[in-house]
Amino acid sequence: MTTSHAPPALETALEATAATRHLCVGVYVDERFRDLVIDEVCTAPHRRVAPSYGFDIVPVMHHAWRAAALSALPRATVLAAVLGPILTGAVPAAILIASGFGILLLARLATLLRGVDRQSTPAHKSRRRSPDPLQAHRYLLRLLLPRVTTHKALVIKRVTTAVLWLALTILVITLIYPRQALTALFLAATITLVYLTVGATRQLILNRILRTPSLRPSRLSGRQRAADRQQRHMCAVYRRSRHTDDEDDDLTMFTLFGDASPFIGAGELVYQWNPPMSIQLLRPDTDDEAPLHEREHSVPPFQAHELVDYLREAVLPLNADSQDVRLPAQVQDRVYVTETDVAVDRSLLPHHFTRSELRSIINTPESKQHHFLEVTTPADGSEFVATVLLHVSLQGRTLSLSTAACVLAHTPRSFQRVEEFGRHGATAVLWAAFNGLSALPSDIQHSWRIFRYLYTLAKAAALPRDLTRNPIRNILIGSRVSIREESSQAWTKVQLEKSDILGRLKTIEQRLLSAASDFLQTMDVDTSAFNDRALKIINSGIFNFGDNNSFTNNAVGDAAQVSVAANQPVQPDTGAAK
């Protein structure tokens, strides 16, 4: 039983949001993303699934297996077209098929060489290393051109020569073994039919993802049920940064949480109170010159969980306004615990939190279970999800409040392209069927990945569905990857939506501060210092967004001066600031 009176944000994520649909599409259009889902979620029962914000991970897992099967079928056909004739004694047919595959590979290599030659050198080098389109063809290039690999004319000459030799081989074997040529032609027609069918089937599935009201399968597998429980669990097990003795750390990084954010799944950390707000519990209407023990509450007039409950109720009305001004805000409790602490004490990760257990965590400042009041607001079908996490601590006759804000930005365009004009419907199915043939040269080169798929199937069948319930020696169960974070756009690349997201974060933050001030007044606590600091936080123009901290024209300390350019005269002090 939880203390949240509002429907949790993770329950609404079970609806077919736009983010869920786009992630389901992503496993079909991006093979690396599909492998990430299968390797880090579907076949990793020894790690906790990260909390899901604005999406449901179960249909993404379901479609990841379907996408893998659709990719494995044509690749298995390519291998069978070569190995099958060899095993049945039709070696000439196998040579014909292999020669045809060689011509397709050489044609793909020539196309890549042509594309690289057309690329212009950028003026500024990008920080992210761009992938080399010829990386997978290095061995083929060395075979065709062992000494010189940069002269385009010589490369094209060698490629043309190899294509001619393969074509001559096909012609000779066809004339000598006409029956084997018919067998090879039948195999080529079978491969073409398989690729046409797979391309059309993939597009039909994409069309259904856009139209169906529910993306969840009718029956969940054991691993899907385990992932479903973990994505909705109140407790998140995060991974601590690896211990280091490096003394060259960047001292300009003003962050409370280190290089890696502990809020796994919530997105990129874009804002935080640094340092946290600390308010002494002083009585109102007391003489400022009186001793501290006379002005302060020797016994706190409230417990930390009472303030948390009050703040939770204060945010709920935002979701009840009229549609034109409503700010969708979903409130729930979130408990973070590090994986190393869970390895020592398994009771830190219970199946459920009772009301008394949750209150005990909130009221215990030194607890290894860190409680946060989590306010989530989705936008654009959960393509953007902003989350404000508030931590309340009551210790040493002082109230401490700290806040962090995380943002999940939109998914890649390739995940959303199926919604564009002409990308879905009956015409798109016909186009996708013929367009699937263009993947044949790439599948010839990567046909060996069928063995990786078979290994993954065997791994999924052999491993238990959930290995995080009972401790295992040398196994840490903290979440490593959030598939939603991996597919999210970087915060620095967000454009017009950034002002809307920041406005939502400031609205939630201001409401939490105002509600906290009202609560302190009702508890006979002086709120003058609290209101002053809250006003500075709301109106401050210096924030910590990620790792970008800019401080310009600032002077700190006695007799400090702001440095100016050498070619600019120093303005005299007119005393206007006094």
- Within a domain: 452: no
- Within a domain: 331: yes
pLDDT for the residue 552: 46
In 3-state terms, what secondary structure has residue 474?
coil
Separation CA 424–CA 431 (nearest Å): 10
- Within a domain: 113: no
Separation CA 427–CA 202 (nearest Å): 14
Separation CA 403–CA 100 (nearest Å): 62
Separation CA 454–CA 475 (nearest Å): 25
DSSP letters of 321-382?
S-TTT----EEEEEEEEEHHHHHH-GGGS-SS--HHHHHHHHH-TT-SSEEEEEEEEEETTT
- At 537-550, the pLDDT tens digits run 877 653 444 444 44
Query: Is the C-alpha dihedral spanning 63, 64, 66, 71 positive or negative?
Result: positive
- Within a domain: 278: yes
90 or 257, greater pLDDT: 90
DSSP letters of 542-554?
---BTTB----S-
Confidence of residue 220 (pLDDT cuts 50, 70, 90): very high
Separation CA 258–CA 454 (nearest Å): 40
6 or 207, greater pLDDT: 207
Q: Would the pLDDT of 479 be above 50?
A: yes
pLDDT for the residue 298: 87
Cα–Cα distance list, 369 to 87, 345, 349, 478 (Å): 61, 11, 9, 14
Separation CA 439–CA 379 (nearest Å): 36
pLDDT for the residue 364: 93
Give the pairing type, strands 330-338 and 235-238: parallel
Separation CA 386–CA 403 (nearest Å): 13
- Within a domain: 384: yes
Question: Are 77 and 189 within 8 A, CB to CB?
Answer: no
**Token pair of 196 as six digits:** 């046409």
- Within a domain: 520: yes
pLDDT for the residue 228: 96
Confidence of residue 23 (pLDDT cuts 50, 70, 90): very high
pLDDT for the residue 253: 47
- At 422-470, the pLDDT tens digits run 889 888 999 999 988 888 998 998 888 999 999 999 999 999 999 998 8
Q: Would the pLDDT of 113 be above 80?
A: no
Give the pairing type, strands 398-408 and 384-395: antiparallel
Separation CA 206–CA 344 (nearest Å): 45
What value does the mean pLDDT take over residues 380-394? Answer: 95
Question: Are 241 and 60 within 8 A, CB to CB?
Answer: no
pLDDT for the residue 14: 56
pLDDT for the residue 501: 94
Separation CA 372–CA 405 (nearest Å): 12
327 or 128, greater pLDDT: 327
Share of the chain above pLDDT 90, in %: 61
**Which of 244, 239, 245 minimizes the C-alpha distance to 257?**
239
pLDDT for the residue 438: 87
What value does the mean pLDDT take over residues 532-559? Answer: 56
Domain total of the chain: 1
Confidence of residue 147 (pLDDT cuts 50, 70, 90): low
Separation CA 133–CA 142 (nearest Å): 15
Confidence of residue 403 (pLDDT cuts 50, 70, 90): very high
pLDDT for the residue 8: 43
pLDDT for the residue 138: 57
Separation CA 235–CA 241 (nearest Å): 19
Polymer length in residues for the chain: 578
Lowest-confidence segment of 90-104, 236-250, 296-310, 478-492 by average pLDDT: 236-250
- At 151-177, the pLDDT tens digits run 567 777 888 888 899 999 999 999 999
Q: What is the mean pLDDT of the chain?
A: 84
Confidence of residue 502 (pLDDT cuts 50, 70, 90): very high
**Most confidently modeled range among 15-19, 29-33, 159-163:** 29-33
- Within a domain: 279: yes
Confidence of residue 230 (pLDDT cuts 50, 70, 90): very high
Burial 15-28 (b: 16+ CB within 10 A, else e): bbbbbbbbbbbbbb
Separation CA 135–CA 141 (nearest Å): 10
In which residue are the tokens 């969840």 written? 216
Rg of the Cα atoms in the chain: 31
Q: Would the pLDDT of 128 be above 70?
A: no
Task: List Cβ neighbours of 29 (8 Å cut-off, separation of 6 or more).
Answer: 414, 415, 417, 418
Domain residues for 521?
Answer: 234-240+253-412+483-539
- From the number of C-beta atoms within 10 Å of its C-beta (0-12, 13-18, 19+), residue 263 rates as buried
**Cis status, amide bond into 412, omega within 30 of 0:** no
Lowest-confidence segment of 39-53, 103-117, 268-282, 331-345 by average pLDDT: 103-117
pLDDT for the residue 303: 95
Question: Are 303 and 393 within 8 A, CB to CB?
Answer: no
Longest CA pairwise span in the chain (Å): 111
**Token pair of 58 as six digits:** 């179960």
pLDDT for the residue 294: 80
In 3-state terms, what secondary structure has residue 271?
strand
- Within a domain: 190: no
Task: List Cβ neighbours of 477 (8 Å cut-off, separation of 6 or more).
Answer: 46, 47, 48, 237, 339, 342, 343, 467, 468
